[in-house]
Structure 1
Amino acid sequence: MGSIGNVESGNQNSEKAKSSSIFRYNSPFVQVILIGLVCFCCPGMFNALSGMGGGGQVNATASNNSLTALYTFFAIFGILGGGIYNILGPHLTLFAGCSTYVLYSGSFLYYNHHQHQTFAIIAGGILGIGAGLLWAAQGAIMTSYPPVNRKGTYISIFWSIFNLGGVIGGLIPFILNYHSGSGAATVNDGTYIGFMAFMALGAVLSLSILPASKVVRNDGTRCTNILYSNVVTEFIEILKLFYNWKMLIMVPAAWSSNFFYTYQFNHVNKTQFTLRTRGFNNVFYWGAQMLGSVGIGYVMDFSFKSRRKRGLVGICVVAVLGSSIWVGAIANQIQRNGHETLDFKDSSSHYAGPFLLYFSFGLLDAMFQSMVYWVIGALANDSEILSRYVGFYKGIQSAGAAVAWQIDNHSVSPLNQLIVNVVLTTVSYPLMLVLVLRAVKDNNGSEEEPVKQVAPSSADNDFNQ
């Protein structure tokens, strides 16, 4: 009996040790890595394509119109995406969202041969729907799966993996168009085919993500107490977001966080550099995002014992760095010679300054968005609540982007676009400080308790599984 008892005790200890490993398939760490790889393949490659300016085309009109359609639908389905995720769960939501990225890249492959923008615009609208679903699911996972006191670290892990997609995506056009010389203006077919292959892989990989109810942290807690939701509940809860002061105070930060892409991609990378240099620049732009996310993640998780103080310091760090970068951007724009196109080989003496500015844009983007995600994650702990918060953030963010791409289409001067970006980001910092002061607690609890719901029927359970 004693030996049997010892064996049983040993088995229990072994199981306990196994359940404490961060490398378990159902651990938050592994799930964050998986969602990072999904975004590496899909939005990571999309970012590399967009970052070239004009979707890799000499004329940015088709890309601007396509991106306007994309972000218009993204604004709608970003807000609705949290509710859809709560109803469908991660598998259907992520797979449906990821599948639309392949179509978008394919539309530019078609445009390369036929120069008809209708397909690109339709594909952009469809991608807007898919992106709304993908990012709502990603936001719910990123803000609710990690341990409460390590959300900044997990966000930085995700952001690094995700933006590695932009790095690899930048290498694709750089390598495939390297021998085209400094005078080429449009990327070749192989560039779009390479993007499509990665995006298809991401759609398949999205099926590996577990629902929140199956993810177990090392302390044995699960990520949510909510089982499933329904359409009526989600519709009501989404409407409530529009008079939730925490969401309204976040609107300037959300609106500005993709608004600046138009200026950075179309008026810095596209107009100031040759085609192959644009791909080269993107490698470092998205690489800078990896550095920025790790740096701000450390500040917001480890700089002080008080969670509220870490949030305040993190926002101040981003504000100081961001303001400095925008000052450099204004100086660059004023001094800009509109007829000079820089190549990393042929114009090395004049290349360093604009390159450093573009690199800094990537650093700021990651720090700004990681900071906002951390604040959202600090407002609650439950994935159902956080999926709605992130959906609202992505919806407003996408509405701003849609406006930005059309502003560019209407020939608003680059300097005026830049000034609008500076004003929007500057206004957002004090508002985020107020949000942290009033809504973020120093303990591990959340201000808002999870919504209690009636248990679903067996039919509902079958549907969601």
Structure 2
Amino acid sequence: MQAAEITAADLPPLPTRRGFAKWYSQPVVQVCLIAMVCFLCPGMYNALSGIGGGGQVDPKASNDGSVALYSTFAATSFFSGTLCNRLGARLTLGVGAAGYALYIGAFLSYNINQNSGFVVAAGALLGVCAGMLWTAQGSMTLAYATESTKGRLFALFWMIFNMGAVLGSAIELGLTYDSEASTVSNSVYAAFLAIAAIGAFIPLFLVSPGLMVRVDGTRVVVPVHPSWKTEIVGLYRCLRYNVWILLLFPYFLSSNWFYTWQFNSYNGALFTLRTRSLNSMLYWLFQVFASLAFGVAIDSTRFRRVNRAWGGLVFVTALCMAVWGAAYHFQKGYTRADLAEPRAAEFARIDFKDAGYANHVVLYIFMGIMDAIWQNFAYWLMGAMSNDASQLAYLVGFYKAIQSAGAAGVFRMDSNLAPYMTELAVSWGLNAAGILFVIPVILLRVTDRTDEAVVTADEVPTVIAASALEKEGSLDEKKGSMA
């Protein structure tokens, strides 16, 4: 790949950094700040989603909003790599973060006036913003890592990000502990709205990606103000010369599909409100531990990267089959009709004080663990393919586009009242298909090292000078040909 050689000449010289400035510009610190954006914005969104129906007893408004959200999310994400390279990762991240507060505010409004149209409109706008946020986050996190730290650095991000959902779920639990209602109160939505609004300002304090140096001394090479035409051509070439990415689309598609069954058809259907909040907190909390363990294991230098790829796939497969097998066992005990009138009054929702709760919550915890490892493995695979920030922006954009298209489809399925068992079967089948299509990608694309041109911090002045001479020579040639 030649992206680094093409754009290296445009790298700005590094400023002199000492003390706090030097510490602050470290990749690990910047990734923590990026994670804090997601802690405060998508983290609060996940806390609401995790209790089912966006905190409403009737999930229809939430489902309709989610369909709008993920439809625009999918459309935007396909081109969000282009947007990220053109606008810059920091601006893209900041604009993306702004949409979460509006979406949470729409649910606060719905609690007051039942205006479902506002939820749908806010969801559509959030889809655009989310596509930008996640592409910028993914491209920066993977580009800042070295070959041997991509799993751990992404795991660090995932830990901090999911602690936001843990915090949000803890707030829900505290404010709903003594509530007899099945719908989240205005105070919960207001608290989440304030937290998400704060997160939108953090991107202002990030170091420019073009000034970042990895821990091994290499510079992060990013496109500097490319034209829209250049970016569209780059997107086309990325697809044309990386046809293997199509094999990962089934894995990408299934990566958000299972959320609907987990959040709405399991947690939202079976449990009381306070228990749903507790379940959600545990779901996200165990993602923190799972992502850390998997990130350390997948980056282990004791084994070749190819062997780690196969080991990761085997572990993902075993965990996925075990979780869905246990889920099928529980799903046989209830149907959607049990929660509909007139049988709903007789359906006893499970409280955490009830006998038999432990088995249900253990399964929900393992659903969270599976989610963390599924997502971590997807990002690790993309990171194993490239070190170039512009290419990673395209790849992450494809990932979020296909992932969001799947989410839009399954939320529409749930909104149309598909049987719970059907949702489970489709989710399980898509996960299995995604795993099968990863096999040829590992066979054909994963190597022990990604061979790409890199630029060290010491080489930048020389590269810039050489580029200036080259451009000057090219200009002279053009003048001569015109004469």
Secondary structure of residue in 1 paired with 2:145: coil
Q: Which moved more, 1:84-93 or 1:363-372?
A: 84-93
Measured in 1, the distance between the counterparts of 2:383 and 2:394 equals 12
Name 1:352's counterpart in structure 2: 358
Tell me the distance in 2 between the aligned counterparts of 1:139 and 1:146.
11
Q: 1:314 to 1:221 in 2, by over 3 A?
A: same
> What residue is the counterpart of 1:397 in the other structure?
403
Contact 1:380 1:447 in 2 (8 A): no
Deviation at 1:177, TM superposition (A): 1.0
> Structure 1: how far apart are the matches of 2:222 and 2:249?
29
Amino acid at match of 2:188: T
How many Å apart are 1:295 and its aligned residue?
Answer: 1.8
Which letter does structure 2 place at the counterpart of 1:324? A
Matched-pair contact (CA < 8 Å) for 1:379–1:447? no
Counterpart check, 1:215 vs 2:212: yes
1:423 to 429, 433, 438: 429
1:329 and 2:327 correspond: yes
Please list, as runs of the form range in 1=range in 2, the aligned pairs for 1:40-439 lying within 5 A after superposition: 40-181=39-180, 184-224=181-221, 226-243=223-240, 244-302=242-300, 304-336=302-334, 338=338, 339-345=347-353, 347=354, 349-439=355-445
Given that 1:58 and 1:185 are in contact with CA atoms closer than 8 Å, whether structure 2 keeps it comes out as yes
Structure 2 CA distance, aligned partners of 1:414 and 1:234?
A: 43
CA distance in 2, matches of 1:448, 1:250: 27
CA 1:385/1:335 → structure 2, altered by over 3 Å: closer, same or farther? same
Deviation at 1:299, TM superposition (A): 1.9
Separation in 2 of the partners of 1:218 and 1:256?
34
Question: CA, structure 1 residues 273+124, in 2 after alignment: closer, same or farther (shift >3 Å)?
Answer: same
In structure 2, distance between residues paired with 1:264 and 1:77: 26
1:24-79: CA deviation from partner (whole Å, max 9, x where unpaired):
21111111111111100011110111111111111111000000000000001111
1:291 shift after superposition: 1.5
1:52 and 1:236 map into 2 onto residues whose CA distance is 42
1:435 positional shift: 1.0
Name the structure 1 match of 2:460: none
Q: Structure 1: which 5+ residue stretches go unaligned?
A: 1-14, 458-465
CA distance in 2, matches of 1:144, 1:93: 16
Q: Which sits farther off after the overlay, 424-433 or 149-158?
A: 424-433
Q: 1:23 to 1:297 in 2, by over 3 A?
A: farther
Q: Residue 233 of structure 1: CA displacement?
A: 1.7
Per-residue CA deviation, residues 224-254 of structure 1 (Å, 9 max, x unaligned), is 1643322112212323455542210011111
Distance 2:381 2:362 in 1: 29
The aligned amino acid for 1:196 is L
In the other structure, the counterpart of 1:462 is none
Aligned amino acid, residue 201 of structure 1: I
Superposition deviation, residue 256 in structure 1: 0.3
Question: 1:92: Cα distance to partner?
Answer: 1.6
Deviation at residue 221 of structure 1 after TM alignment: 1.3
The answer to whether the 8 Å contact 1:91/1:206 transfers is yes
In 2, the alpha carbon distance for the partners of 1:36 and 1:376 equals: 19
Aligned residues: 434
Cα distance in structure 2, aligned partners of 1:229 and 1:272: 51
- Residues 103/315 of structure 1: CA separation in 2 closer, same or farther (3 Å cut): same
Preserved CA contact (<8 Å) 1:380 1:448: no
Cα offset for 1:86? 0.4
What is aligned with 1:4? Answer: none
For 2:89 and 2:27, locate their aligned partners in 1 and report how far apart those are by CA, in whole Å. 14
Query: Take 1:388 and 1:448, find their aligned partners in 2: how far apart are those partners?
Result: 19
Give the residue type in structure 2 aligned to 1:234: E
Q: Shift of residue 311 of structure 1?
A: 1.2
Say which SS state the counterpart of residue 159 (structure 1) adopts. Answer: helix
In 2, are the aligned partners of 1:212 and 1:222 still within 8 Å (CA)?
Answer: no
Is contact 1:79-1:238 (8 Å) kept? no
Could you tell me the percent identity over the aligned residues? 39
Structure 2, unaligned runs of 5 or more: 1-14, 339-346, 456-466, 472-483
CA contact (8 A) 1:167 1:282 kept: yes
For 1:376 and 1:41, how far apart are their aligned partners in 2? 25
Could you say which residue in structure 2 is the equivalent of 1:24?
23
> 1:321 Cα shift?
1.1
Secondary structure of the corresponding residue to residue 216 of structure 2: coil
TM-score (norm. length: structure 1): 0.89
Letter in 2 for 1:122: A
Measured at CA, do residues 114 and 17 of structure 1 come closer, stay the same or move farther in structure 2, by a change above 3 Å?
Answer: closer
Tell me how large the CA RMSD over aligned residues is.
Answer: 2.4
SS at match of 1:258: coil
Instruction: Give the 3-state SS of the residue equivalent to 1:217 in structure 2.
Output: coil
The one-letter code matched in structure 1 to 2:421 is L
> Post-superposition shift, 1:433?
2.6
How far apart in 1 are the matches of 2:62 and 2:43?
A: 17
TM-superposed deviation, 1:432: 1.5
Deviations 1:152-181 (A, max 9, x none): 000110000000001001011111111113
1:238 partner SS = helix
